[in-house]
Amino acid sequence: GSGQQRCATFTYKTGMDEAHQRELAIIQGLAPGLERGELSLVYQPKMALADANVHQVEALARWLHPELGPIAPDEFIQLAERSGQIRLVTEWVVGQITRDLAQWREEGLDLGVAINLSADEIAQTALEQTLAPLFQAVGEAESITLEVTESALLREPENALQNLRALQARGARISVDDFGTGYSSLAQLKQLAPDELKIDKAFICDLADTPADQFIVDLIIDLGHKLGLEVVAEGIENASAWRYLSRKGVDLMQGYFLARPMPAGDVADWFADHQA
């Protein structure tokens, strides 16, 4: 019972440093936290430059831990991967999105939803099964985008490619997240055959004042478009970056300048306010 758990916690506290202790609390708290409803999803809109009626959002996980407070996904997703629990997280994400899609549809909104997949799970055979409820839930006018990082391909490229092809065949769009920061080659990009490149926010945040970033961003937009892909910019924080990217013809825009990630209940209102 709970007495035993307190003893175990006490042992960890005396034997390990604080960082390790925090990691353990996160790893051990994840499954019960999911169970207790401590995790939630927020959604960040993406706007299409050419068509204000394109409605897309990216789902981002949040965890409000009763003792540790808010835990950033950069921290707990990585620990979930390391402890073999990432599938549990993705299953929960899929379930939550499925419910939110139904809610939005009731509010008259057909949304494209992007979800983040971690490098570990791209090559796993269970992936298609994990995502199946999402494919069942998504309607004609809606779409699924799977955001994957370049590094996802480097581990088990054959399994990863096979998985991604199967998911594309089911109608999912594949987006290469954090593009420009990984180590993949152009040959690998060609092999991956994604539908979208998402320029990493590191190149976007100081775009207007940084010629090197402009040069890189120009190249990525050109590369993406020449390969017939959509190009997305994330991390747009100011009007000058927005103007620069508009001028360069980026297809989709995302960042605090447009909208911060928001709860599912605010999404329909946001799109109503930002209609053409």
**Amino acid present at 70:** P
Q: From 229, 93, 81, select the one nearest 155 (Cα to Cα).
A: 81
Compare residues 147 and 251 and give the one whose CB is closer to Ca ion.
Answer: 147
The answer to whether 226 and 202 are in contact (CB under 8 A) is: no
Which of 100, 177, 230, 251 is the binder for Ca ion (CB under 5 A)? 177
User: Which span (40-48, 111-119, 186-194, 257-265) binds Ca ion, by CB under 5 A?
Assistant: 111-119
Question: How far does Cα 21 stand from its chain's mean position?
Answer: 27
- Please report, for residues 21, 90, 124, 163, the alpha-carbon distance to residue 84 in angstroms, rounded to integers and kept in the order given: 18, 12, 12, 19
How deeply is 2 buried, as exposed, middle or buried, from its count of CB atoms within 10 A (0-12, 13-18, 19+)?
Answer: exposed
203's CB contacts (< 8 A; 6+ apart) are 180, 213, 216, 217, 220
For Ca ion, what does the binding mask look like between residues 134 and 163, x meaning CB under 5 A?
-------------x----------------
If contact means CB under 5 to 8 A according to the sort of partner, which of ligand C2E, Ca ion, none does residue 235 touch? Answer: ligand C2E
Compare residues 140 and 154 and give the one whose CB is closer to Ca ion.
Answer: 154
Binding site for ligand C2E (CB under 6 A): 44, 60-61, 72-74, 77, 93, 116-118, 147, 177-178, 201, 234-237, 255-256, 261
Q: Does 75 interact with Ca ion (rule: CB under 5 A)?
A: no
CB 194 to ligand C2E: min, Å: 15
User: Which span (8-16, 26-34, 37-45, 178-186) binds Ca ion, by CB under 5 A?
Assistant: 178-186
Residues comprising the chain, all counted: 276
Compare residues 111 and 117 and give the one whose CB is closer to ligand C2E.
Answer: 117
Binding residues for Ca ion, how many (CB under 5 A)? 4
User: Which span (95-103, 112-120, 130-138, 248-256) binds Ca ion, by CB under 5 A?
Assistant: 112-120
Rounded-to-integer distance, Cα 55 and Cα 205, Å = 23
The answer to whether 268 and 65 are in contact (CB under 8 A) is: no
Compare residues 8 and 239 and give the one whose CB is closer to ligand C2E.
Answer: 239
β-strand pairing of 143-149 with 196-199: unpaired
Interaction site with Ca ion (CB under 5 A):
116, 147, 177-178
